């Protein structure tokens, strides 16, 4: 049994190193981000049957029509938020809880929202088991955000609205950043960065063509 466990641990270590090499090759060079991706056990956030593919650079199903995003997209989005150790971050679309775990290592506190009860319960249990104590999970409609905890320094959407809800932009601090895939699942989506420059004023930057699950 110990020999099998050691072999499995070696495979996971090799897969994790392969993921890190791929991230570096795609210009994810921030050492803080790379260290976090090395430390967070992605295999704990995927379905048991997919553990062997946890570190491959593609999305995996987590049930209920939802996915865990590929490592590169999570790393890219996190890098564009320019997270600081003092930041309070809102994440919309907890899903597996993986992105929240990553962000929690780079920021002071993460407030994450999930609308699917089963995913909420699973992610909350996983985050608790792995001792991510600065992640607070909420079960509610992501479009509403968490107004009672606003404003936030940074906001990240892990699911795509057809149009950016003003309720979420309103919960961003002046000078804060919001990153989100925006657009119809039937057409195309654009990964977009919003910077709040004044009351109800935002600088928008289109970053990448992407494909995310719809915000439900």
Name the packing angle between helices 31-39 and 2-25 (round to 10°).
160
Give all strands (DSSP E) within the chain, no chain letters: 60-63, 66-68, 88-92, 109-114, 135-139, 152-157, 172-182, 189-198, 201-210
Range 197-205, long-range pairs (CB < 8 A, 24+ positions) = 198/174, 199/174, 200/169, 200/170, 202/169
pLDDT for res 186: 62
pLDDT, position 75: 98
- Measured CA to CA in angstroms, residue 109 lies from 90, 91, 171, 186, 215 at distances of 9, 11, 15, 34, 23
Q: Which residues are marked as active site?
A: 69
DSSP three-state, residue 195: strand
Q: Among 92, 89, 76, which residue's Cα sits nearest to residue 33? A: 76
| pLDDT at res. 216 | 74
Ranges of residues in the chain with a pLDDT under 70 are: 1-6, 185-187
Q: All domains of the chain, ordered by start, with CATH?
A: 58-210 (3.40.50.150)
CB burial of 110-125 (b: ≥16 within 10 Å; e: otherwise) equals: bbbbbbbeebbebbbe
């Amino acid at each position: 049994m110990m020999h099998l466990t050691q072999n499995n641990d070696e495979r996971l270590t090799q897969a994790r190193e392969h993921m890190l090499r791929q991230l570096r090759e795609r210009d994810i060079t921030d050492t803080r981000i790379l260290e976090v991706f090395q430390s967070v056990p992605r295999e704990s956030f995927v379905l048991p049957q997919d553990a062997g593919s946890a570190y491959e650079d593609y999305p995996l199903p987590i049930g209920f029509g939802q996915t865990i995003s590929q490592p590169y997209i999570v790393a890219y989005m996190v890098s564009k938020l320019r997270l600081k150790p003092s930041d309070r971050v809102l994440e919309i679309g907890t899903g597996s809880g993986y992105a929240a775990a990553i962000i929690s290592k780079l920021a002071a506190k993460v407030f994450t929202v999930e609308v699917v009860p089963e995913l909420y319960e699973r992610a909350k249990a996983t985050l608790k088991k792995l001792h991510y104590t600065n992640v607070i999970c909420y079960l509610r409609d992501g479009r509403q955000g968490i107004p009672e905890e606003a404003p936030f320094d940074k906001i990240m959407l892990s699911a795509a609205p057809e149009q950016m809800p003003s309720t979420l932009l309103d919960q961003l601090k002046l000078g804060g950043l919001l990153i989100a895939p925006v657009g119809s699942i039937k057409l195309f989506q654009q990964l977009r960065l919003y910077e709040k420059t004044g009351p109800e004023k935002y600088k928008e930057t289109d970053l990448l063509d992407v494909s995310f699950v719809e915000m439900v």
